[in-house]
Amino acid sequence: MSDHPEASVTPVEAYEPPYYVAVFTTVRAQEQSGYSETNARMEELVKDIPGYLGMDHAQTPGGLGITVGYFRDADSLTEWRTNAEHRAAQKRGQTEWYQSYTLHVAKVERSHGFTRP
């Protein structure tokens, strides 16, 4: 459960729309060799993408992972998707780490935050 050591209980805030979310849901395969290192590297690498706003991640005990990446615009998401090192990680994900995954890329139209006074 600690594959994402940087995850905290402070979720990404509600930015002023429009911005983009990439919802990435995963079911892990048995083979996880190298996953943690690559994942940590990706979490660092994405921070260099202009327009990257943040990321939330959680996982069920049953093995369903949800990662939501937040980006200022479609261009910043494209830059991340086509990053060479990220591409290599995506390929390893398909052949080694994931049994299945789903990606939903969406433009935020409305957002709202609540914090108890």
Judged by the rule CB under 8 A, the positions of this chain that interact with a second copy are 1, 4, 7-14, 20-21, 23, 25-27, 29, 56-66, 68, 70, 74, 94, 98-116
- The residue among 23 and 45 lying less far from a second copy, judged by its C-beta, is 23
Q: What's the rounded Cα separation, in Å, for the pair 1 and 6?
A: 12
| Smallest gap from residue 55 Cβ to a second copy (A) | 11
Beta partners for residue 57, in sequence order:
67
| Smallest gap from residue 11 Cβ to a second copy (A) | 4
| Smallest gap from residue 3 Cβ to a second copy (A) | 11
Using the 8-state DSSP alphabet, how is residue 35 labeled?
H
51: nearest Cα among 23, 8, 84, 22: 22
Residue given tokens 């849901």 in the structure block: 25
- The residue among 33 and 61 lying less far from a second copy, judged by its C-beta, is 61
- The residue among 32 and 100 lying less far from a second copy, judged by its C-beta, is 100
- The residue among 10 and 33 lying less far from a second copy, judged by its C-beta, is 10
Q: What's the rounded Cα separation, in Å, for the pair 46 and 22?
A: 13
Residue given tokens 């069920």 in the structure block: 60
